Amino acid sequence: MTRLYLSNDTSARAAGADRLAKAWAHTPGLELIRTSSRGAFFLEPLVERDMPGGRVAWSNVTPDDLPRILAGSGGAPVSQIPFLSRQTRVTFANFGVTQPLSLDEYSACGGTKGLERARQLSPGAMIEELKVSRLRGRGGAAFPVWNKWQIARETASDRKYVVANADEGDAGTYCDRMIMEGEPFRLIEGMLICARAIGADTGYIYCRKEYPAAAGTLRAAIERAERAGLLGSGPPGSHGTGFHLEVLVGAGSYVVGEETALLESLEGRRGVVQARPPYPAVSGLYGRPTIVSNVLTFAIVPSILARGGEWYASMGTERSRGTVVLQIGGRVKQPGLVEIPFGATLEEVLERFGGGMAPGARFKAVQVGGPLGSLFPASRLGIRICYDAFAEAGAILGHGGIVVYDDETDMVELARHFMAFTADESCGKCTPCRIGSVRGREILERIQVGRGRPGDLDLLADLGETMKTASLCAFGGRAPYPVLTAIEHFGEEFRRLMK
């Protein structure tokens, strides 16, 4: 029996993995194992096989390639694929290797070691380990994780909650989805460790509606974790961990990714942003102390507990420790997921991993951090990928999405598109965002059709300033950045339409 490994990740399936599985389903002597994805999406569908020297991979496979794969010819050792071998994978170390719903494989690859260590530590010692690691939240705000946990732990309450933010709405991001589809036990383990540290007995994973496969995999993983005694009351005769976990699916809203809006939605109301303080760590779900953290943040925690905070903090830059998970997309040769220590320049990442521009395309701009991120021209590519450098540049790393635009991109249309997105998605609670985004869109629309008025660019700058300073949350506060940086770096395109 020959075993072949093929990813079951949504992106791999979109690239044709299911077509291979269907075509090869009844091949005698062939066992097809569906794994997580390595995240090298430009190589998908990627088929792997165990060979004497280790895993060998065949990329961009079509059904007709089966004979040469079975003959063992033409593949490349996985360890020699530069896109992968140049990375420092911590959270994504097992991706492409294990089966998402096999708890045995997860444990065999080092999974559950973090939880085992956590069981030997007091809650205070667990939080201390996170403090040493200097882990900051990966959902966008980059708040120190230990600090949030400490606050929730110290706030007295009859109940506490742990909530994973799986709303992942930034364009070009998918690492949370990959975790949920590819290694759901890692997220569960991270949430369990958090629950032990703060004293919570209930958790929710708030998953965006656009991720049906992730929600399904998570539910199946929770069921298996319950049977194994990791969650809930455990199998008959055992005590289990007493931690109950449930998946809830959102209704499709970008702003619901904001933590207070997410909690509103979890409680069954419209996802509208609430004023803070109080912060959720003090008064969150049903008014109880709640840790709301990003999926990736929770997924990093088991490795820190297993290998120690110092080990994690030894990677990265002074104030951005550990690894950063980047998702490269747009007009590059090699779109995919990259995990490396913080500190490389954007240019290095686009060259070494993105492989440069797609054939025939010329670089124009790059946006990091989703629809609220600044647009950078080529002259800014020397920026280091860490929280400080991005903050100094008035930019955000967000959730690590990098979208590259080529020279055919119409920057006026791009700016209009982002303002229109804000107008569509604004929750409506505060005036600067609700009204400002509509007025911003109108100004950009009239510029676009040649009806721009003198002073319109100044008006956009003024409006942007108001939105930045007076909006209730970072949605309105960051929405002007794509527009203002488009005008800053590509202003000629706007002025040309206004002559």
Which parts of this chain interact with ligand FMN (CB under 6 A)? 137-141, 143, 165, 167-169, 255, 257-259, 292-294, 297, 473-475
CB of 58 vs ligand FMN, minimal distance in Å? 35
State which residue, 8 or 293, has the beta carbon closest to ligand FMN. 293
Give start and end residues of each alpha helix (H) in 95-201: 103-108, 113-120, 123-133, 145-154, 175-182, 184-198
CB of 126 vs ligand FMN, minimal distance in Å? 16
CB of 185 vs ligand FMN, minimal distance in Å? 19
State which residue, 479 or 487, has the beta carbon closest to ligand FMN. 479
370-403 burial code (b ≥16 CB/10 A, e <16)? bbbbbbbbeebbebbbbbebbeeeebbbbbbbbb
State which residue, 179 or 292, has the beta carbon closest to ligand FMN. 292
Output the CA torsion sign for 99, 206, 255, 484: negative
Q: Could you tell me the maximum CA-CA distance found in the chain, to the nearest angstrom?
A: 79
E strand spans, 197-258: 202-207, 244-249
Single-letter amino acid, residue 135: L
The span from the CA of 4 to the CA of 8, in Å, is 13
How far out from the chain centre does Cα 9 lie? 15
**DSSP letter, residue 323:** E
> How many residues does this entry show for the chain?
499
State which residue, 111 or 371, has the beta carbon closest to ligand FMN. 371
The span from the CA of 224 to the CA of 255, in Å, is 32
CB of 174 vs ligand FMN, minimal distance in Å? 12
CB of 148 vs ligand FMN, minimal distance in Å? 6
Query: Closest by alpha carbon to 164, among 186, 197, 142?
Result: 186
Query: Closest by alpha carbon to 348, among 316, 319, 383, 394?
Result: 383
CB-based contact 273:258 (threshold 8 Å) = yes
State which residue, 4 or 180, has the beta carbon closest to ligand FMN. 180
How far out from the chain centre does Cα 314 lie? 23
State which residue, 296 or 487, has the beta carbon closest to ligand FMN. 296
CB of 255 vs ligand FMN, minimal distance in Å? 5
Identify the residue whose tokens are 């009806």.
Answer: 451
Residue 396, classed as helix, strand or coil, is coil
CB of 164 vs ligand FMN, minimal distance in Å? 8
CB of 51 vs ligand FMN, minimal distance in Å? 39
State which residue, 98 or 426, has the beta carbon closest to ligand FMN. 426
State which residue, 58 or 390, has the beta carbon closest to ligand FMN. 390
Region of 178 (left: φ > 0; alpha: ψ -120 to 50; beta: rest) is alpha
CB of 180 vs ligand FMN, minimal distance in Å? 12
State which residue, 7 or 471, has the beta carbon closest to ligand FMN. 471
CB of 474 vs ligand FMN, minimal distance in Å? 4
State which residue, 103 or 281, has the beta carbon closest to ligand FMN. 281
CB-based contact 192:299 (threshold 8 Å) = no
Give bridge partners of residue 322 from the DSSP assignment: none
How far out from the chain centre does Cα 71 lie? 38
Residue 298, classed as helix, strand or coil, is helix
